[in-house]
Structure 1
């Protein structure tokens, strides 16, 4: 199962607000007189956008996401970063509807929207496209009673991004909505709402998917994840001796790229830097996820080790967006398309949860795989970049960096990551057996060649890790799921 949640809150306050607002419903002023070019009319109506146009938007969202990841570096106190480029694009594009002059141009530039004609219309159409998937998108526009907002902004918000205006009554009501649209996974999102906040643009993205090929929970066991050359942590590692995987070895990128398919036309893409060659930080500026996706070869059956993780991430994005050139939003932006009263953005708050577990469509209780003459191994046991990608538009719904999937666990000293023989075909026995050991210690994954050869791939380091007896196949242990809730930290 893949469970992702994200909530993005964009708050605007009225400059110089000192008096209490008058109770009552949100006030919508008369329509704003706007000049519309002919090309705008060609975007609307009942037009159905092509797959190529959706992929153009997907590319723009990907560039936005990668840029944000570069400005949210990991560190010892915050080893993992999780975000939704799709949600961020919705929030900034929504704000762009009310931006004017230089503020509008800055937002369009950050969204990479200048290269995409009909940007708002195509981006808004993705919501209906995603309705056929395991993805839910919800949006809401909270207005302080008495605050005057232009009708044109309300209409465009509803038409483009299905964001309806509702009165901003209390923090309790906002938190109830957040908890509802995130299926209970983000309670108590806000502690309070400052009195000078007159408008909140909110959206949430919820994804719950199932692997096309599930991992057997009985085979999940303790494994080692190498945080860096000096430290490692013990994690629950999902394992399969016979997993269909699309795997690409990119020598120029010095990384391996794997695609785990979900039911519903989505894929979980992992970019794993080669040990000793590069790291996730130096990898980000060179990434082109959509291009890597297109280059993936056909599926091939192989052995797979994938960490079972549950990660939570909350972050105020003001500093990152300022580093991306959007600092003017928080000082003196031109948002006159929203209201005639001067406004500024006071915060962009983000919360996300990602969970990887064994659940999938197919039961995989098989404990023996026969006549496997040659099997590759893909072991995700060191820092990686991930993206949850829509197969049709190549839009990254979620992206992230994982440098420590179990930050609450005590680190262990090691000599560095073992070689990840992902692309090396390794002969194995004709009869590969999987044995579950009731042990609290880790185990070693070894493949032994028939005929007496001692050729093996073993991933457990020396030390306090138990070396199991060698058998014709895989030995694993079964442990409870590890959960972690990292806190925000300063840049590394």
Structure 2
């Protein structure tokens, strides 16, 4: 079976409750922003807004990973940091005062180094670049607002989310929560090419707005694995236990690096087009040491130190998923006001006191001979205040390892995860 790389990242759902309801302007109800970026035939480098936000997005990725690790225990981890960053950056357009400051800090944006406008211009440029139809890798990212008839969004908020984030504005009747939920789930399923199905199980009775952010990516390994070389093998879960996996094999030249200080191997496995992945294999007993060192400086050093070398590579086929309560994780990262009675989202809608009542993220990944399939969804509900060897090294990913998927054009980490059990059933 032909296997592509599908990355369907983040669906952010903002559930908003409002005491004061008013009719939404007809033009706003009908407004749907076409999900196609501006003409960006301009030479790469003319607009570098995305480069300015890239370090903060990478810092956020590793900070969020370490927070997830604290709760994951000995379970697989997989999520989309760029998707989460984009969703909450979009939400920040309506945040004010300390709520906004906490959001910026949580997303690791330092307003002494860049202006708020530059943050949104950066994400705007990321969206343009990711949606470039001329890319060899198929990669689509977009946003939508499902808005209840009774919620009157401030025009500036609506203008900003459509201008910077190319968000569609879709009129919905949240008084019929069952139909609204089906409509949103269908949208999510369509945009993620069927990778995320029936995400929203329920909607709060007071929901008046749902914000959706998604990414879809399809590509192929630059050097596919030969199906005939795949064989059954053991994957070591720990010192005593193992599981049987389908182990893929290649005997070719790859960009690799042996980090003696952190005791790990780093192998770059590129996709066709301008995307690549890093697979990081810590020596036995050194996973925590490597995880603790996950910083943009560490990964930058790995990337700069890669050298092409023939290796014997073993990599398991795997399909894993992860689901996360982003609200809980963000609160532990210091973003608390957004989810509390002190929330100030006064820049979103008229005469409505709002807060985020729920934020969830789901991601899936499937790695096989021809590529990778992955998908992720995040839901946010907003509620009313109420070393060299003589022979080619044999690098065997037969014990827990890390994986990162990068988009080179935007300098973004699309996906990040830790595979501790390739045979674990998806949740």
Question: CA shift at 1:134, angstroms?
Answer: 2.4
Say whether 1:273 aligns with 2:282: yes
CA deviations over 1:137-194 (Å, ceiling 9, x no partner): 1210111111111000000000101112112231111111011001011111112211
TM-score scaled to structure 2, two decimals? Answer: 0.82
CA distance, structure 1, for counterparts of residue 72 and residue 412 of structure 2: 30
CA deviations over 1:258-312 (Å, ceiling 9, x no partner): 1101011111111211113x11x44333113541343232322211101101112
Say whether 1:262 aligns with 2:271: yes
2:39 maps to which residue?
none
2:184 maps to which residue?
174
Say whether 1:286 aligns with 2:270: no
2:338 maps to which residue?
329
CA distance, structure 1, for counterparts of residue 44 and residue 267 of structure 2: 32
1:197 maps to which residue?
207
Q: Structure 2 unaligned runs (5+)?
A: 30-41, 174-179, 373-389
Structure label with greater radius of gyration: 1
Question: CA shift at 1:83, angstroms?
Answer: 0.9
1:21-420 aligned at under 5 Å gives the runs 53-73=49-69, 79-114=75-110, 115-117=113-115, 118-131=118-131, 132=135, 133-169=137-173, 170-240=180-250, 242-276=251-285, 278-279=286-287, 281-289=288-296, 290-331=299-340, 332-339=342-349, 340-359=351-370, 374-407=391-424
CA deviations over 1:19-52 (Å, ceiling 9, x no partner): xx678777869xxxxxxxxxxxxxxxx9986586
| SS in structure 1 of the partner of residue 393 of structure 2 | strand
| SS in structure 2 of the partner of residue 311 of structure 1 | strand
1:412-451 aligned at under 5 Å gives the runs none
Contact 1:2 1:357 survives alignment (8 Å) = no
Contact 2:226 2:369 survives alignment (8 Å) = yes
CA distance, structure 1, for counterparts of residue 52 and residue 348 of structure 2: 28
Contact 1:28 1:150 survives alignment (8 Å) = no
| SS in structure 2 of the partner of residue 348 of structure 1 | strand
Contact 2:257 2:307 survives alignment (8 Å) = no
| SS in structure 2 of the partner of residue 98 of structure 1 | coil
1:3 maps to which residue?
6
1:439 maps to which residue?
none
Contact 1:9 1:348 survives alignment (8 Å) = yes
| SS in structure 1 of the partner of residue 11 of structure 2 | strand
Contact 1:49 1:122 survives alignment (8 Å) = no
Q: Which has the higher contact order (CA 8 A, sep 6+)?
A: 2
CA distance, structure 1, for counterparts of residue 252 and residue 240 of structure 2: 31
1:417 maps to which residue?
none
Question: CA shift at 1:92, angstroms?
Answer: 0.7
CA deviations over 1:183-207 (Å, ceiling 9, x no partner): 0111111122112111211111112
Q: Structure 1 unaligned runs (5+)?
A: 30-45, 362-372, 408-483, 487-492
Structure ranking higher in helix proportion: 2
Contact 2:320 2:366 survives alignment (8 Å) = yes
Question: CA shift at 1:343, angstroms?
Answer: 0.1
Contact 1:27 1:145 survives alignment (8 Å) = no
CA distance, structure 2, for counterparts of residue 302 and residue 395 of structure 1: 27
CA distance, structure 1, for counterparts of residue 125 and residue 262 of structure 2: 34
Question: CA shift at 1:112, angstroms?
Answer: 2.0
Question: CA shift at 1:8, angstroms?
Answer: 2.6
Question: CA shift at 1:78, angstroms?
Answer: 6.8
2:38 maps to which residue?
none
CA distance, structure 1, for counterparts of residue 300 and residue 166 of structure 2: 31
TM-score scaled to structure 1, two decimals? Answer: 0.71
